[in-house]
Amino acid sequence: MTLYDKIPNNVDLSNDPKLQRALEKWLPNFLSWWNEMGPEGFQERDVYLRTAISVEPEGWAHFDYVKMPEYRWGIFLNPPREKAAIGFGDFYGAPAYQEVPGEFRNTLRRIVVTQGDTEPASVEQQRRLGSTCPSLYDLRNLFQVNVEEGRHLWAMVYILQKYFGRDGREEAEELLQRRSGDADKPRILGAFNQPCDDWLNFYAFTMFTDRDGKYQLASLAESGFEPLARTCQFMLTEEAHHMFVGESGLERIVKRTAELMKQTKNQSEDEVRALGGIPLSIIQRYINFWYSYSLDLFGGEISSNAADFFAAGLKGRYLEQKKYEDHVAAEGTYALSVVENGKLIPKDVPLRNALNEILRGEYVRDCERGLARWNRALEEEDSPVRLFLPSTRFHRHQGEYANHCFDLEGNLISKGEFESKAPDWLPGEEDRAYVRGLMRPVTQPGKIANWIAPPKSGVGGQPFDFEYVRL
C-alpha cells in the first residue's frame, strides 16, 4: 500500500514528493504515539466508526467497523475559493495568503502549534476511559472523538510540514513528545493538562472544552491564510459531533439523576447516592470546573496578541464574514470589568484588544443554550433544582481575573473566603472518588449503567442495542 492509499487526502499528496517524505517519516512516530498514548486496551477491537474519505457530504460520513490504529487518518481541506481575499484586519481585501507571509511566520506557527497541541492532548486525557464505559454506544462515541482528534492532529501537521519547512517538521515531532499533565513537558494550554479520568469529566470536557475548539476553529476558518482556513472549515464538521456527545451525555446524566430523585422520599442527595446516581451538586461542581478552565482557553480579556492576529488577517472573529460589516475594527472600544486597587471597575479597551473577550462572549451564549436544555430535562422530571453557569470571573487562571478570587456570582472575595467555599464550588477528592466508584464497565449491547439514561437514538443509522464495539 502506498502512502497515498494509506492517507486519504484531497491535497494531491501523490504529486508532492517532499510532503510525502515528511509525512512518511512522521507516520510511524504518530502510530507509536497512538499505541502508547491512545485508547488503552481497545486497539485490537473492531469499532463502528465514521471515517472521512472526502469532503463531499456522501464521502465524509462513511460508517464501518475499523480497528483504531488502522483508521484512515486523512488530510482534507474544504475546496479553495475563487479569488480568495483576506477578510479582515489591516490588509482587508488583499489576496489571501497562499504561502506563509514572512513577517507573520512565527505568529502563525505559534497559532497552528497551539491548535495542534490540543488534539493529541485530549486523546491522552481520555485514554483510560474505555475500561469504565457506561454502554457500547458511549464507548464507540469516545473512540470516534479520539480518532477524529487524531485526524485533527494530522490536519495541523499537514500545515506545519507543507508550509513551514524544517521548523514545521520539528514542531510536528514535538507535538508527539509533549504529554498531558507531565511536569516537565506539559501540553501548552491549561485545560489540556487537567485529568479527565471518569465519564462525568469526559462529558463536561466534550461539552465545554471541545466547544472552545468550535470557536477557535471558527475564528481560524476565517483566516487570510487560505490553507489554514480551508482545513479548519472541514474540522468544524467533525467538532459538531464531539459537542453533541458532551451536551447529550450530560443531559442523560442529569435526566437519570432526576429520575432517581423522583423515586426517593425527600429528594435528598443522600438518597440519590443510595440509589447509585450522581447528585446534582456534584454535576454542578464539574460544570464549574470545566467551564472555568475552558473560559481560560480564550486567553486574556485584554490581549495584544489577539489584536496582532486580527491586524495581520490571521485569526478573525466568530462568523466574521456573515455577522460583521466593518471588517477593519480599527476604531471603537469594548467595556470590560477589571480589578484595580482591590475593586472591580469598568474599563473601556480598544476593540481589537478585546477580541478574546468578544469570542468568549459568543461561547458563553452557546453554553447557556446547553444549560437551558439540561434544565428542561430537570423540569420534565419534576425536579425543583436548576443548573447554572458561574460568572466568567470565577476560578480563572488566565487574564484579568487570574490571581484574584471571585464567588460564583463574580463578586470579588478574599482568598480565605474562596478557600473555605471551594469544596461547595469545585469538585474535591471526595466527589471524584464517589464518581469514580460508580464507573463500572457495561459492555452488553443494549445495556446501560445505572447513573446515566440511555440515548434517544443510536448512531450511524443503528439502534442503541447495536454491537458498536466487538469485544
Residues that bind ligand BYC (CB under 6 A): 111, 114-115, 118-119, 122, 149, 189-190, 209-210, 212-213, 216, 296-300, 303, 305-306, 315, 356, 398-399
- Supply the DSSP string of 80-131, one letter for each residue: PPTT-B--SSTTTTSBPBSS--GGGHHHHHHHHHHHHHHHHHHHHHTTTGGG
Which CB atom, from 306 or from 387, has the smaller least distance to ligand BYC? 306
Shortest CB 431 distance to ligand BYC, Å: 23
CB nearer to ligand BYC: give 106 or 177. Answer: 106
Least Å distance between CB 152 and ligand BYC? Answer: 7
The residues facing 336 across adjacent strands are 347
Distance CA 158, CA 88 (A): 25
Residue 354 Cβ vs ligand BYC, minimum distance, rounded to whole Å: 11
Q: What is the CA radius of gyration of the chain?
A: 23
Q: What is the DSSP string of 435-457?
A: HHHH-----STT---TTSPPPSS
> What is the smallest separation between the CB atom of 110 and ligand BYC, expressed in angstroms?
6
CB of residue 97 to ligand BYC, shortest distance in Å: 17
Residue 348 Cβ, how far from ligand BYC at the closest point, in Å? 18
The residue with its CB nearest to ligand BYC is 299
Q: Identify which of 426, 378, 362 has the alpha carbon closest to the alpha carbon of residue 218.
A: 362
Question: Between 38 and 300, whose beta carbon lies closer to ligand BYC?
Answer: 300
Task: Report the distance separating Cα 50 and Cα 280, nearest Å.
Answer: 33
Nearest by Cα to 227 from 309, 167, 314: 314
> Of 152 and 255, which CB lies nearer to ligand BYC in the complex structure?
152
- In 300-365, where do the E strands start and end? 333-340, 343-350
Instruction: Output 252 or 315, the one with its CB closest to ligand BYC.
Output: 315
Residues contacting residue 400 through CB under 8 Å, at least 6 positions apart: 300, 301, 302, 336, 337, 338, 339
With H, G, I as helix, E, B as strand and everything else as coil, classify residue 19: helix
| Nearest 10 degrees: Cα torsion 320, 323, 324, 329 | -50
**Which residues have a Cβ under 8 Å from the Cβ of 104 and sit 6 or more positions away?**
312, 314
Q: Least separation, in Å, of the C-beta of 144 and ligand BYC?
A: 13
CB of 305 to ligand BYC, least distance (A): 3
Residue pair 357/336 in contact (Cβ under 8 Å)? The answer is yes
How many residues does the structure list for the chain?
A: 471
Q: Looking at beta carbons only, is 89 or 213 nearer to ligand BYC? A: 213
Place of cell 477593519: 328
- Comparing CB distances to ligand BYC, the nearer of 279 and 390 is 390
Nearer to ligand BYC, 108 or 272 (CB): 108
Q: How many CB atoms lie within 10 A of CB 91?
A: 18
SS3 content of the chain, % helix, strand, coil (to 5): 55, 10, 40
Query: Residue 126 or residue 257: which is nearer to ligand BYC going by CB?
Result: 126
Q: State the nearest-atom distance from the C-beta of 374 to ligand BYC, in Å.
A: 20
| Nearer CB in complex with ligand BYC: 171/210 | 210
Task: Tell me the closest approach of the beta carbon of residue 186 to ligand BYC, in angstroms.
Answer: 9
